Amino acid sequence: MSHVDVWLRESTATSLLQALSTLRRLITFHKEFVEDCLDDLVQLMQRLLSHEAPPVRAAAALGVGDLCVAFGDSMLSHMQHGDNLDASLLLAMIQLACTSTPVAAAAAKASLGIYATRLRQASVMRQLEHYLQYPVAPIRTKASLLLMTATYRLS
């Protein structure tokens, strides 16, 4: 992925947004073309969630939501990075929903809503419970709100 890092550094926000738009269309309409590289897509989205440009972060957050819709419960293993909570895609999404600009925060909240309402309820709840003891208060608050959404959704 070192060539991806170089590409991300050298690309403008406009070109990244165009690439993300194309990628989101592929995920939505032709998921069979991208399902073999789901691990790489998740890593790319996680890197773009910390991009300096808020529109790129927002597009990446919406891309994560698209991945959750397209691949469903298979995204659960990608949202949590083993026991390392600080390296998880879920934490990156929660942080974006808590601390970013309004457009990126709204996109992250929408994608987290998809995660909390569409994926396997017991697994989502188990993943979110890890963040109820997280040292940063806004993360705990957002995790508890998502846990409530996951708990009280209609199954």
The model's pTM: 0.90
pLDDT tens for each residue of the chain, 155 residues long: 566 666 777 788 999 999 999 999 999 999 999 989 998 999 999 999 999 999 999 999 999 999 999 998 889 888 876 666 677 899 999 999 997 789 999 999 999 999 999 999 999 999 999 999 999 999 999 999 999 999 887 55
State the maximum Cα–Cα separation within the chain, in Å, rounded to a whole number: 45
Number of domain units in the chain: 1
Tokens encoding 122: 């017991």
Domain that holds residue 26: 2-152
Q: How many residues does the chain have?
A: 155
CATH number, position 123: 1.25.10.10
User: Rounded distance, CA 134 to CA 132, Å?
Assistant: 6
Sign of CA dihedral 53, 87, 105, 98: negative
